[in-house]
Each structure stands twice: as structure tokens, then as C-alpha cells.
Structure 1
């Protein structure tokens, strides 16, 4: 069983041609003192998990999803390519939050 409440599996190709499965994950929100926080994993893109906070659990998950989408956008702009799976079509950072819902910048 995964440690993540939410998980997206993609396939990634680095700018130097390395290919690997990419697992993006968000752990269930937990109340930390006064705020709610989610641990976020960017898989092979960043080996250090991040903690993203919100005013309530819903907001923490929203902020975590936006954080991942922004970081994946950064990697995409740096030359990384993303696919739905190893033999699948191209995936976009906007696919992580749904088109038209909000801007990544």
C-alpha cells in the first residue's frame, strides 16, 4: 500500500536522455499546531520531500497539487519530457490540475 493519499504515475525523460518512471505523491493532510500540512514527493525529480501547508485540510491538498504542478512546470521548462506512461502520449504539467482551473504561475 502506498504512503500517499494521492498519486500520479508518469514516465519522464531527463534533458540528458535518462528515462524512468515518475511517481508524484501527496500524503494525507495532518494538523500541525494551527495549520494543516501535506507531505509532497516529486519522485525522481527531487529526492527531498516537501511539506505544504493550508488553513484547512482541503486547502493543504489544493496547495500541494499546485506546488507539484509548478515544480513539474519548472522541470519541463528545463528540458524534461513527461508522458502518461512508457509508450504513452505526452503529458503536460497543466494535466496535473486540470485545464482552465487555475494558472500555474
Structure 2
């Protein structure tokens, strides 16, 4: 999973998440990166495993295409196109792409304690 150092969206800019002319060259990319918010398009090939980890802030994982297994809160759940899951801050989670998958991951960034 390589998040390319591409340009982030500016306020008011339209982002095309999935277009036929983007496939199969679609790549993982941080789309929005601010002190408060991170939005990433995560593109995973079938079988790819993102090991268990946690982030400080709340997170949503929205499956745009394909299917992906999410391990969190002691359960394994499969997301298919148009399914979304919410995870609380500090929730340990792992991801495994069942098929070639495109997801939209949103992370609320929590400021570091003073």
C-alpha cells in the first residue's frame, strides 16, 4: 500500500473517486490532508493484508468497489460495494482485500495532548 505523494484537494475542488478511464491505473492516494482530517482512496489487490493497527481518531471505511474483510471489535465483517463501517478512535483493526478493492478511508485526526 503506497500512498503516493500527489496533490491534495483544495477546498471546493471536486474529486473523482472512480472513473472508468482511471482503471486499472488507479492508485492509493491521500486525497485530503489537513490537521483535522485525512481522506484516502485505498486501492488493494485481492489477498492484500493491512496488518492490525489503530489510529487516535474515529475512522470510516467505505467500500467503493470489490469486497474487503474488516477485523475489528473481535469480529470479521465483509464490506461490499457501497457498504461502510465506522470504528471508534483507538479501535484495533486489520483489512484484507477479498477481491481487487477500492475503499474511501476517512480519519478524524485527534490533536496531541499538550
Shorter-chain TM-score range: under 0.3
Structure ranking higher in helix proportion: 1
TM-score (norm 1): 0.26
The structure richer in strand per residue is: 2
